[in-house]
Structure 1
Amino acid sequence: MDNIPTETSFFRDLQVFEALRQSIFPELLRRHRLDRQLNLWSAACSSGQEAYSLAILLRDYFPLLAQNWTLNFLASDVSETMLAKARSGIYDDLEVHRRLPPKFLRRYFHQEGSQWVVSDEIRLMVQFQQIDLLQPLPPLPTMDVIFLRNLLIYFDRPTQAEILNKMRQVLAPDGYLLLGATETPLRCDTRFKPVAVDRAVFFQIRPPDDAAGGRSRHTGS
C-alpha cells in the first residue's frame, strides 16, 4: 500500500461535510446523548487534512463535544512519512488556501514563516496511528463513522472485498461508512446499502432481513 497516491485536501467534497454537519453528526449526538461517546475513524488519512477538517467541523459547530463527551477520533495510514506530517499539523500556503474556508484558517491555524500550523485544540483531538488495511486490524472500538475515501479504486475486487469486510467488522450496526465519490462497495460486498444524506451518499450495514438492493433514505427526514 505504500505506493498509493496521497492526494488530499482540507474540506474536500464540501457536500460531504455539509451532510455531516446538518444531518449525520446531529443524529449521532442525539443517539448517544446518554453514553456521550463518539467513535470516528479516518482509515486512510494521508497527511491529515481530512482528519483535521473533521475535527474543525466538530469543534466549530458542536462545541459541547469538548465539554462532557468522550471523542475517540482515530486517523490512520500505512505510511509513516504521511503520518509524521499529519502529526506535525504543519502545512504550506497552497495546502491551506486550496479549499480551507478563510474563517477556519484564521480561527484554527497560526502562521510560522511561510507555513501554517494547526492549533493544539484541533491537533490534540486526533490520534494518529499506523495501520495497514491489508493486514489484520489492531483492536479498535466500534465506529460510528468510518471515512475510507478514494482508496478502494486502487485495488482489485477481491482486495476491495477484504478491506470492506474489515470495515464491516468494526462499524456500528447503524454507523456510516463514507467512500470516495466514484466508489461503491456494492460490486463486491452486498452487505452494505447506500444511504442518501442530503447531496452525499454514505453506506450502512444492511440488516439481515433487508432485501438485496436496499433503499436510500434521507437522514433526519
Structure 2
Amino acid sequence: MRITVKALMELAIIVHKHCGIVLKKNKAYLIENRLQPLIEEYSLSSFEELIAKAKDSSQLTSHIVDRMTTNETSFFRDKKPYELLKEKLLPDWQANFGKKRGRLNIWSSACSTGQEVYSIAITLMEYFKGDSFNHNIKIKASDISDSAIVKASSGRYSNYEVSRGLDAVQLNKYFTREDSCWKIKDELRSMAYFEKMNLLQPKLEYGRFDIIFCRNVAIYFSKPDRRRLFESLSSCLNNNGVLIIGATESLFDINEQLKRVDYNGTAYYSLKQPSG
C-alpha cells in the first residue's frame, strides 16, 4: 500500500507533535513499512483511514509514534562511549565526588529497548569490580516508546540480540538463560529504573545527573527542537556533570551552556564554568 503526499504530511504532523521527530518526504517507504502492519491490525483500508481514526484515539496515536520511534540498537553500540566511561568519567567522578556525595546518577535519556542501559550497567560492574552497590548507583532510563520501555524493563533478549555486542564471557557472567531468551541478572537490573518520557515536553523536575547519555536522538529533530532538548539536558547536569551524544552529532550552533571536551578519539560535553 502506497502513502499519498497528503497523508504523509498529516502523519508527519502527528508524529512531530507527539515526539518531535521530523518525517521528510523521502521517508515515505519507511512510513509504509512501519505502519502497514498497524493498518492491518486495526482492520483499516488506507493511511487516510488510519489518520482519521488516530485523531479520535490516543491509543492508536501512541501506537503510531511507537512504530515510528523504534530505532536500531545493540549492546555496546559504538564502544567509544563505554571506554570513555570506564577510563575517564568514572575515575574522575570517584576521585572528586565518590566519597563526598556517594551516589552516582546516570541517565540514559533515549534508552530504546535497554541495550544501552545494560551496557552502562556492565561497564559499571566491571569498573567497580562488582562492588557497585557500595557506591549507590542509579541509572534512570527513559524512552517515548511504550513497547521499548516494557522490553527494556523486562531485561530479556533473544539469541540474536545478545549476539550483537556481547562476548561469551559477558553473556554468561551478566545474563541467565530462560527458555529461548537471556535475562539480565537482578544485580544489574536493580541499578536501573524505567520511565516513559517525551524529552521535548517540559517537565517540572527531570532530576540532576552526573552523566547523561543522549545518543543518536537529536538527529531526528528540527534545529529549534534540538536547541530545546540540549538546553533542557544541560539544566539537568550537576556542576561537573557530563553529556555524551552520538559520534556524528555536534552541539555547534545548538547550545551555549556546554563545551566540548576531546578525549582519546572521542568527545563529551560539560558545563561551561563562569569566568572569573
Aligned-partner residue type, residue 76 of structure 1: S
Structure 1: give runs of 5+ residues left out of the alignment.
211-221
Shift of 1:138: 4.7
Question: In angstroms, what is the RMSD of aligned CA positions?
Answer: 1.5
In the other structure, the counterpart of 1:165 is: 231
Report the CA distance shift for 1:25/1:113 in structure 2 as closer, same or farther (over 3 A). same
Shift of 1:185: 1.4
Shift of 1:71: 1.5
Q: Counterparts in 2 of 1:16-27, with a 5 A limit?
A: 16-27=81-92
Identify which of structures 1 and 2 has the higher relative contact order when contacts are C-alpha pairs closer than 8 Å and 6+ apart. Answer: 1
Rounded to whole Å, the distance in 2 between the matches of 1:187 and 1:9 is: 30
Larger radius of gyration: 2
Shift of 1:49: 0.4
TM norm structure 1: 0.90
Q: Which moved more, 1:71-80 or 1:157-166?
A: 71-80
Q: Provide, for residues 77-99 of structure 1, a one-character-per-residue CA deviation record: whole Å limited to 9, x for no partner.
A: 11111000001111011110111
Aligned-partner residue type, residue 197 of structure 2: I
The answer to whether 1:40 aligns with 2:97 is: no
Structure 2: give runs of 5+ residues left out of the alignment.
1-18, 20-64
TM norm structure 2: 0.72
Any conservation in 1 of the 2:259–2:269 contact (CA below 8 Å)? yes
Rounded to whole Å, the distance in 2 between the matches of 1:122 and 1:203 is: 27
- Give 1 or 2: higher helix fraction: 2
Aligned-partner residue type, residue 244 of structure 2: L
- Give 1 or 2: higher strand fraction: 1
Shift of 1:74: 0.3
The answer to whether 1:78 aligns with 2:170 is: no
Aligned residues between the structures: 209
Q: Provide, for residues 101-143 of structure 1, a one-character-per-residue CA deviation record: whole Å limited to 9, x for no partner.
A: 2211010111123211111111111001111101112523311
Q: Counterparts in 2 of 1:1-221, with a 5 A limit?
A: 1=19, 2=65, 3-32=68-97, 33-62=99-128, 63-67=130-134, 69-209=135-275
Aligned-partner residue type, residue 78 of structure 2: D
Rounded to whole Å, the distance in 2 between the matches of 1:101 and 1:201 is: 26
